[in-house]
Chain A
Amino acid sequence: MRRVVITGTGMVSPLGCGTEVSWQRLLASQNAARLVTEFEVEDLPAKVACRIPTGDGSDGTFNPDDWMEPKEQRKVDPFIIYGMAAADMALNDAGWHPETDEDQIATGVLIGSGIGGLEGIVEAGYTLRDKGPRRISPFFIPGRLINLVSGQVSIRHKLRGPNHAVVTACSTGAHAIGDAARLIMLGDADVMVAGGTESPICRISLAGFAACKALSTQHNDDPQKASRPYDRDRDGFVMGEGAGIVVLEELEHAKARGAKIYAEIVGYGLSGDAFHITAPSEDGDGAYRCMTSALKRAGISASDVDYINAHGTSTMADTIELGAVERLVGNAASKISMSSTKSAIGHLLGAAGAVEAIFSTLAIRDNIAPPTLNLDNPDVETAIDLVPHKARKREINVALSNSFGFGGTNASLVLRRYDA
């Protein structure tokens, strides 16, 4: 099987616009959770979210005009703009701008989203009800469809290889990267632009996830305390928004053009819980099999894993994942660091797995485990280092990134330092 490496990253996160600014702020234990003020939340049980800082583009702010013309922005929901921005960054970072037929055809796109343009669908629903079908814009459908991120990115950059999209709730980003890597391994493409994007923060989404009892509702008066994975006072996740995109490349292709190599994707595992629509199986079986499968594919034993970026949403499910990891690593538990970066940026749903895979990649690059914020009183005892409050410098050569989604859909990625 051909080997696949990461040669570019791009990110728009609640900590900032750009991979490096987000990563440095994450390592500095900054917390993106805020009270939502952009729309009415008085009647919503969950009033906290992690929003992208917007501005003129300076100091890590996100200025949509830097990434898409205003007249084009009007036609799409924000998840497409975030995805376009992160894809531009990733391709620039990789220095990959294919111009020949051969290079364009060898480059594909696989970007997913968990729920796509929810807010735009709601607004069009009001238009249909109040003004009738003749007032539904021709851009209503192409501005909301999840695969239109892959479509728009391919059009802008002339990427004419496989064009695909993933929709697996909160596992979307990890599945997108794993599936894209497989396409390269099997020879369908030499380069793939892959990841996830999400813009879920609106009234209907906060209402819907709160109805599922998935969101934190007890920390509205102290938003920065709301996302607290593994802590005994956790009570649900905090919604985030953004996009994470990587450029994946066949190893020899990357070497031949002298590309910078962040890390190698050595393992990818998938599993289904077959248990419940929103809750994970209580014995952690799905998570365990998913991680096991990824490590088997990588040919790496569990004791060689240095860092795990947990799914860790700040819900009751945190301890189920922790139990599955303990079962996986056995006696090696004390040498592993595992953190949930959702404590700082919230849960980016379909973008989470991609953003977290990038954080895992940077953890390898910089030999540092990002922190789990707000972990004041761990709910259960464990020998695993959960990296409370502050980032930890330590050797990291192998990282595992977990993502689990509604419907019982699980994905794990294994990343390894690439030594030339």
Chain B
Amino acid sequence: MSDIAERVKKIVIDHLGVDADKVVEGASFIDDLGADSLDTVELVMAFEEEFGVEIPDDAADSILTVGDAVKFIEKAQA
């Protein structure tokens, strides 16, 4: 797993209080990890803070899984 993926995973575990083994690339924040719509807003804010990137609202709406977040951040930092 890349450094970005590890850091994303840690944020998800901390914020959603879920077991590490559930936080896989295809895991949906809402369907698989128990997040509600406010949790996902806060997650996106935490990604912005951690990686120093800005995630506009329309982009945030398309970040539904752990993998989506990693891909977005990798692209933004490339």
Interface residues of A (CB under 8 A from B): 69-72, 134-135, 137-139, 142
Taking a contact as CB atoms under 8 Å apart, the answer to whether B42 and A134 are in contact is no
- Between A and B, how many residue pairs show CB distances below 8 Å? 18
B17 vs chain A, min Cβ distance (A): 3
Q: Is the interface of B mostly helix, strand, loop or mixed?
A: helix
Contacts of A70 in B (CB 8 A): 17
| B1-24 interface with A by 8 A CB criterion | 15-17
Residues 10-51 of chain B: 1 if any A CB is under 8 Å from the residue's CB, otherwise 0?
A: 000001110000000000000000000010011001001100
A194 vs chain B, min Cβ distance (A): 28
Select B17's contact among A69, A134, A135, A139, beta carbons within 8 Å: A69
Taking a contact as CB atoms under 8 Å apart, the answer to whether B49 and A135 are in contact is yes
List 18 contacting pairs A-B, 8 Å CB cutoff, sorted by A. Answer: A69-B17, A70-B17, A71-B15, A71-B16, A71-B17, A72-B17, A134-B45, A134-B48, A135-B45, A135-B49, A137-B42, A137-B45, A138-B38, A138-B41, A138-B42, A139-B38, A139-B42, A142-B38
Apart from A71-B16, A138-B42, A139-B38: 9 A-B pairs, beta carbons within 8 A: A70-B17, A71-B15, A71-B17, A134-B45, A135-B49, A137-B42, A138-B38, A139-B42, A142-B38
A142 CA to B39 CA, complexed, in Å: 12
Q: What residue of chain A has the Cβ atom nearest to residue B41's Cβ?
A: A138
A70 CA to B16 CA, complexed, in Å: 10
A312 vs chain B, min Cβ distance (A): 42
Contacts of B49 in A (CB 8 A): 135
A420 vs chain B, min Cβ distance (A): 46
Contacts of B16 in A (CB 8 A): 71
A69 CA to B15 CA, complexed, in Å: 12
B39 vs chain A, min Cβ distance (A): 8
Contacts of B42 in A (CB 8 A): 137-139
A138 CA to B42 CA, complexed, in Å: 6
A71 CA to B45 CA, complexed, in Å: 16
A71 CA to B48 CA, complexed, in Å: 20
Q: What residue of chain B has the Cβ atom nearest to residue A72's Cβ?
A: B17
Contacts of A71 in B (CB 8 A): 15-17
Q: What residue of chain B has the Cβ atom nearest to residue A136's Cβ?
A: B45
Q: What residue of chain A has the Cβ atom nearest to residue B14's Cβ?
A: A71
